[in-house]
Amino acid sequence: MTNTQKMVRLNLDLSPELNQILDELANKIGTSKSDVLRQAITLMQIMVIAKEETKKLGVTEANQLILNEIILSSEQPKSHPLDTFMERLGPWEDERTAEEIVKDIYDSRTISNNDISL
């Protein structure tokens, strides 16, 4: 980060357990807790972009077998199928009354010789 860029200070409340994990991560990679959080934000950004592009993010072994798939929880509830249907096809538009529609359906029925049993 260059001197011309302004830093934003952030106060963060963590549970003692999360603070311990943050300390351990900082020690393992030899950096500060702030750097661990910055890298975590970058990883989260990569995950969100991958999800938007309908890609998956995973942890692989050397032979490329996926060990763990990283799944982002969806904050937005899935839309109801009826909402999706209405969004795609729109509402039924007809100037006829319900009775006229039913009559048209009944009138359009035909009986074939195969339908008659004696």
| Span 66-75, pLDDT tens digits | 655 666 555 5
Average pLDDT, the chain: 79
Give the up-direction half-sphere exposure of residue 81: CA atoms within 13 A in the CB hemisphere: 0
Hunting for tokens 């950096």 — which residue is that? Answer: 31
Q: Rounded to an integer, what distance in angstroms lies between the CA atom of residue 72 and that of residue 48?
A: 8
Determine the residue type at 66: I
Q: Specify which of 3-17, 67-81, 95-109 reaches the highest per-range mean pLDDT.
A: 95-109
| Span 98-112, pLDDT tens digits | 899 999 888 888 776
